Amino acid sequence: MPVLTEVLNLKMYINGDWVQAEDGKVNDIINPANGELIAKAPTGGLSETRQAIGAARRTFDSGEWSELPTVERAQYLRAIADKLDEKAEEIALLETLDQGKPLNESEIDVADAAACFRYYAGMITQPDGQTFHVADPMQAMVVREPVGVCALIVPWNFPLLMSVWKIAPALAAGNTIVFKPSEVTPVSAMKLFEILEEVGLPKGVANMVLGPGRVVGNELAESDLVDKVSFTGGTETGRNIMKAAAGNIKKISLELGGKSPNIVFADADIETAIDCTLIGIFFNQGEVCSAGSRLLLEESIHDEFIERLVERAQKIVVGQGKDRETEMGPLVSKQHLEKVLSYIEIGKQEGARLVCGGNRITENGFDKGYFVEPTIFVDTNPDMRIVQEEIFGPVLVVQKFKTEAEAIELANGTAFGLAAGVFTQDGAKGLRVIKKMRAGITWVNNYGPTYNEAPWGGYKQSGIGRGLGTFGLDEFMEVKQININLNVEPVGWYKN
């Protein structure tokens, strides 16, 4: 396994040029497992953001990309996928050093990213549009066109994959983009943009600005030259983006937070339910928008299930992501560590009972990293903040229910509606309960798998719109109706 021998110097990518911040400002990028400096990233501001928007606008309006035959756009996307495969080992390691996640999870992310580019390369060359019969002698049809300049803003939990979920469909559809990664995790994004340059993407098609969300992100959401903003991140930020985007009635897609229920009935296959509960909350350190962060257990199995769950959770190997035996890495940043620890304190003060973990790990050289034990709270009630608010860390809260109706009510009892899981061996019950879930992504007898083919997004305050699948492409396209008169003669509506 190669190791990082020097601190990386990241740059922004604007109109085909690699640039530093005009005022020379840089931001230190830290490995959350040991506090080591891994990269220096420019801190862009308004000027760089406006330059990037200008480049994307000019390139879009020129038609150089938007009017390129789709088969040619698809070739670029496939070339990007091939390069991701070629560089998978390097990018996966960098992702782990930057974000903290275990290496095998980063490897999956890189492979999924390549697959996502190939998926949209295939889709964009498929037959498209509609023709239909209308009452008049008219040939009526619908064609789809790119939206225009798209601002893509992503968070730090899946830095590469969240980027690609937006970049691949946006480019496939013929848009030009200004992309902003999280300030905390920009490394894999720069590797991706190096690939975009290597495959010869015309300059101005894809631009990347690094810098704080409240400056760069806000300008992207506000600018009248941007047609669409697609955002993944926290619900509060999503609310701010909606307001900022109102000026020119920008199209918006928002993939926001969650507090997703994972319901286990007494008739479930208990081993499967335990396994999936662990993945649901501890995968990626619980820094997953769709995490199964609330476990709803039927009362009759509660105590035994918790006993076995805790036993398994305590065996999860927490460590540096780059070590192959590691099963859960550190949290992404000191600031986020403090947020998660504060929620654990809140849970205790609210009277929930801690049955697993609950502490920062500092022994055995872990003191420089941001590690938290897999944590489980029981004896909760629906009014508690730890039950209602997104913690975004390895903290599971357990709720107890007696009946199917109560499970449904508890499951839907938060402001969010991103994901839900149900475990039962009664097929009809599984489907019945899932159909009652006010959530966009659901599983029966599983928790967590995602597919490029399937739409990703939420109900309620978990967002607007969908990523991935055909729906994900639709988010980056406008629909135009064309009516061609087949009987060209005066209409005669006005008499004189």
Query: What is the distance between the alpha carbons of residues 121 and 172, in angstroms, rounded to a whole number?
Result: 7
User: For residue 132, which phi and psi values (nearest 5 degrees)?
Assistant: -150, 165
By CB under 6 A, the residues from 238 to 257 that bind ligand NDP are 240-241, 255-257
- Cβ count near 236 (within 10 Å): 10
Instruction: Report whether 337 contacts 370 (CB < 8 A).
Output: yes
Shortest approach of ligand NDP to residue 237 CB, angstroms? Answer: 3
Instruction: Report whether 161 contacts 290 (CB < 8 A).
Output: no
By C-beta, is 230 or 399 nearer to ligand NDP? 230
By C-beta, is 335 or 403 nearer to ligand NDP? 335
Give the helix ranges, DSSP H, for 26-69. Answer: 46-62
Single residue of 54, 169, 204, 233 touching ligand NDP by CB under 6 A = 233
Q: How are beta strands 375-378 and 261-264 bridged, if at all?
A: unpaired
Total residues contacting ligand NDP (rule CB under 6 A)? 27
By CB under 6 A, the residues from 154 to 193 that bind ligand NDP are 154-157, 180, 182-183
Query: What is the distance between the alpha carbons of residues 150 and 176, in angstroms, rounded to a whole number?
Result: 6
Query: What is the distance between the alpha carbons of residues 27 and 37, in angstroms, rounded to a whole number?
Result: 10
Q: Does 117 bind ligand NDP (CB under 6 A)?
A: no
By C-beta, is 168 or 209 nearer to ligand NDP? 209
By C-beta, is 99 or 262 nearer to ligand NDP? 99
List, in order, residues 6 or more apart from 175 with CB less than 8 Å away: 60, 65, 66, 146, 147, 148, 149, 150, 228, 476
Task: Mark the segment that binds ligand NDP (CB under 6 A) among 20-28, 192-200, 229-237, 323-331.
Answer: 229-237
By CB under 6 A, the residues from 383 to 402 that bind ligand NDP are 390, 392
**255 labelled catalytic:** yes
By C-beta, is 171 or 241 nearer to ligand NDP? 241
Task: Mark the segment that binds ligand NDP (CB under 6 A) among 82-90, 215-223, 276-284, 402-410.
Answer: 215-223
Instruction: Report whether 150 contacts 177 (CB < 8 A).
Output: yes
Shortest approach of ligand NDP to residue 249 CB, angstroms? Answer: 17
Task: Mark the segment that binds ligand NDP (CB under 6 A) among 213-221, 263-271, 445-453, 469-477.
Answer: 213-221
Single residue of 212, 413, 455, 469 touching ligand NDP by CB under 6 A = 212
By CB under 6 A, the residues from 351 to 390 that bind ligand NDP are 390
By CB under 6 A, the residues from 268 to 297 that bind ligand NDP are 289
Q: Does 468 bind ligand NDP (CB under 6 A)?
A: no
Q: Does 343 bind ligand NDP (CB under 6 A)?
A: no
By C-beta, is 392 or 476 nearer to ligand NDP? 392
List, in order, residues 6 or more apart from 183 with CB less than 8 Å away: 27, 41, 43, 210, 211, 212, 213
Tokens of 86: 């070629």
Which residue is it, tokens 């872990």? 366
Query: What is the distance between the alpha carbons of residues 219 and 163, in angstroms, rounded to a whole number?
Result: 19
Shortest approach of ligand NDP to residue 289 CB, angstroms? Answer: 3
Task: Mark the segment that binds ligand NDP (CB under 6 A) among 109-117, 231-239, 345-353, 466-474.
Answer: 231-239
By C-beta, is 430 or 458 nearer to ligand NDP? 458
**276 labelled catalytic:** no
Task: Mark the segment that binds ligand NDP (CB under 6 A) among 66-74, 214-222, 420-428, 436-444.
Answer: 214-222
Angle at 297 between CA 296 and CA 298, to 5 degrees: 130
Query: What is the distance between the alpha carbons of residues 162 and 419, in angstroms, rounded to a whole number?
Result: 17
Shortest approach of ligand NDP to residue 389 CB, angstroms? Answer: 8
Q: How are beta strands 463-464 and 419-423 bridged, if at all?
A: unpaired
Closest C-alpha to 103, from 2, 20, 21: 2
- Which of 48, 105, 222, 255 is labelled catalytic? 255
- Which of 222, 289, 390, 475 is labelled catalytic? 289
- Cβ count near 136 (within 10 Å): 12
Shortest approach of ligand NDP to residue 42 CB, angstroms? Answer: 12
Query: What is the distance between the alpha carbons of residues 196 and 496, in angstroms, rounded to a whole number?
Result: 61
Question: Would you please indicate which residues are annotated as catalytic (active-site) residues?
Answer: 255, 289
Footprint of ligand NDP (CB under 6 A): 153-157, 180, 182-183, 212-214, 217-218, 221, 232-234, 237, 240-241, 255-257, 289, 339, 390, 392
